Amino acid sequence: MKFGRKAGSIVSNTLLIIFLTVMELHLPSFQVLLTFLLVFLMIFKSIKKSKIKDSPKNLPPAPWKLPFIGHLHLLMFSLPHHRFGELAKKHGSLMHLQLGELSHIVVSSPEAAKEVMKTHDINFANRPFLLPGRIVFYNFTDISFAPYGGYWRQLRKICTLELLSTKRVQSFRSVREEQISNLIRSISSSTGLTINLGEMLNNLSYSIVLSTAFGGRCKQHEAFLSVMKKILEAVAGFSISDLFPSIKLFHMISGMTAKLEKLHQDTDDILESIIEEHKASKANPKNGDDVTDDLVDVLLNLQDHGGLEFPLTIDNIKAVILDILIGGTDTASNTVEWAMSEMMKNPRMLEKAQAELRQVFDRKGDVNESDLHELKYLKLVIKETLRLHPPVPLLVPRENVEKCEINGFEIPAKSKVVVNAWAIGRDPKYWNEAERFNPERFLNSSVDYKGANFEFIPFGAGRRMCPGMSFGMAIVELSLACLLYHFDWKLPNGMKREDLDMSEAFGSTARRKRDLHLIPIRYSVV
């Protein structure tokens, strides 16, 4: 018994160090040594602690775990949503995992998701403490990280009624059309050549969201793009500093705190100058200034005349803008990229989507947003893409305020709750031939992604559901329609359809390992 614990400790020490390295923290060797020693000390601390604490009696099932690191080793060499999905097949749709110091509840069935996001929605409407929320997102004052309460409710209201309302999304139509036309022109100049479509789509999403937020007024466009991509990497997945919150030394060793502080400083400098510029042009409007208010204008107006219960500070405005930029970019571009990838594997579907588009738009010679509602098949393709490849596969983690019971199991207060939307979208109890890309499954089906069907929750559900759904879908539909209308597509020489499989990255998010590369063949040019 004694030997077993000791052996377990050695295994977990070793695994933690591998884990730190695998999580791309690239520790120099003296830091690894320090980590090793620290881990050793912590094992004693954690064993002592676990004896003192009252552990809950009826937790959801869990796999065998190691001392100190708990189940962290299970996340090595696999995407978290894939690994959680495999584990759920063995241990059930409600699992308890100890990742580092934190208790995680992993939800992997529509029934259990409904319990969390509908039956007990208020209790689970909080977000756990995550270091990026404090450092980068202005001390949790953005929408995604803000704790559930009056301030968050006010932000959601501003979002739904002002920033991302259907009317506002429509008013930015010309921004989307202009940015997408630029992309189509740039692709046209490369017809017959292999292009990195994945990267181009990612830049397109950033440009659309940036122009919507700032109008034409972001001089440091390129610099900002690069900072935002880094922030996105930092917030996605599981970081050692968040899994061991009490061990401040880990934050230092991993370099995470310093990295986030640098990102915050860079972002803040850019946002500050953009806001100052907006204030100046508001105070001194010139002929030729943009007539349509961008999102910064809307927030500054609300700050001045909104009669808000929680007056907005400039930092609050920066936090909200940053949230919108981060929430709305990779999500939309990943969806378009996956849709293209799936259709390249299934040429019949590609042809069908193109035939529909060309029938609708050939008489006009170009794609426009007002006629997108006619594209019935394209909408099925997008739904099926979101089912198999939800861009936020584990949604955004939630935290429960009070302990509660789900499916007869006890969920301790302050558990970090992860909903595996990716596994739920492939649940064979709900989906026939669940792994097959088959857009027609949504034909004559009332199942939608709007939060009422818990077997299909790419935007989440309940109070914390994505407020940017209409905006995100507007970007996805228009970009996909334009790509398919203006070009035929070929795989690069030597690439086979099977190569399009298994392109998810090894890492913490659903990003692809390799961007999708394709050859465009001109059909019609804007």
Can you say which residues are annotated as belonging to the binding site for heme? Answer: 466
CB 299 within 8 A of CB 142: no
Residue 27, interface with ligand HEM (CB under 6 A)? Answer: no
We find the least distance from the C-beta atom of residue 271 to ligand HEM, in angstroms, to be 16
Nearest CA among 525, 510, 517 for reference residue 80 = 510
CA Rg value for the chain: 24
Nearest CA among 94, 42, 43, 99 for reference residue 70 = 99
We find the least distance from the C-beta atom of residue 91 to ligand HEM, in angstroms, to be 23
Residue 144, interface with ligand HEM (CB under 6 A)? Answer: yes
Query: Which of residues 72 and 417 has its CB atom nearest to ligand HEM in the complex?
Result: 417
We find the least distance from the C-beta atom of residue 68 to ligand HEM, in angstroms, to be 29
Q: Which two tokens stand for residue 424?
A: 């739920």
| Among 128, 132, 460, 520, contact with ligand HEM (rule: CB under 6 A) | 460
Q: Count of residues for the chain?
A: 526
| Among 328, 425, 439, 520, contact with ligand HEM (rule: CB under 6 A) | 328
| Among 106, 324, 349, 482, contact with ligand HEM (rule: CB under 6 A) | 324
Residue 459, interface with ligand HEM (CB under 6 A)? Answer: yes
Dist. CA 234–CA 241, nearest whole Å: 11
CB 434 within 8 A of CB 428: yes
Residue 143, interface with ligand HEM (CB under 6 A)? Answer: yes
Stretch that binds ligand HEM, among 85-93, 311-319, 324-332, 480-488 (CB under 6 A): 324-332
Beta bridge partners of 267: none
| Among 331, 341, 415, 508, contact with ligand HEM (rule: CB under 6 A) | 331
Stretch that binds ligand HEM, among 252-260, 355-363, 367-375, 453-461 (CB under 6 A): 453-461
Residue 466, interface with ligand HEM (CB under 6 A)? Answer: yes
Burial class (CB in 10 A: 0-12, 13-18, 19+), 525: middle
Residue 228, interface with ligand HEM (CB under 6 A)? Answer: no
Give every CB contact of residue 381 below 8 A, 6+ residues apart in sequence: 339, 342, 343, 349, 353, 439, 480
The binding site consists of 466
Residue 323, interface with ligand HEM (CB under 6 A)? Answer: yes
Residue 116, interface with ligand HEM (CB under 6 A)? Answer: no
We find the least distance from the C-beta atom of residue 67 to ligand HEM, in angstroms, to be 32
State the number of binding residues for ligand HEM (CB under 6 A). 27
Residue 103, interface with ligand HEM (CB under 6 A)? Answer: no
Q: What share of the chain is helix, strand, coil (3-state, %, to 5)?
A: 55, 10, 35
Dist. CA 353–CA 345, nearest whole Å: 14
We find the least distance from the C-beta atom of residue 10 to ligand HEM, in angstroms, to be 38
Beta bridge partners of 489: 520
Residue 509, interface with ligand HEM (CB under 6 A)? Answer: no
Give every CB contact of residue 430 below 8 A, 6+ residues apart in sequence: 110, 455
**Full strand arrangement of the beta sheet holding 517-522:** 195-196, 517-522, 487-490
Residue 298, interface with ligand HEM (CB under 6 A)? Answer: no
CB 478 within 8 A of CB 372: yes
Stretch that binds ligand HEM, among 47-55, 61-69, 171-179, 452-460 (CB under 6 A): 452-460
Quick one: which H or E segment has residue 190?
A: none
We find the least distance from the C-beta atom of residue 331 to ligand HEM, in angstroms, to be 3
Nearest CA among 330, 364, 367, 369 for reference residue 170 = 369
We find the least distance from the C-beta atom of residue 327 to ligand HEM, in angstroms, to be 3
Dist. CA 442–CA 447, nearest whole Å: 7
We find the least distance from the C-beta atom of residue 154 to ligand HEM, in angstroms, to be 12
Give residue for tokens 């700032």: 214
Residue 392, interface with ligand HEM (CB under 6 A)? Answer: yes
Residue 472, interface with ligand HEM (CB under 6 A)? Answer: yes
State the residues that interact with ligand HEM by CB under 6 A: 143-144, 156, 164, 323-324, 327-328, 331-332, 335, 391-392, 395-396, 458-461, 464-468, 471-472, 476
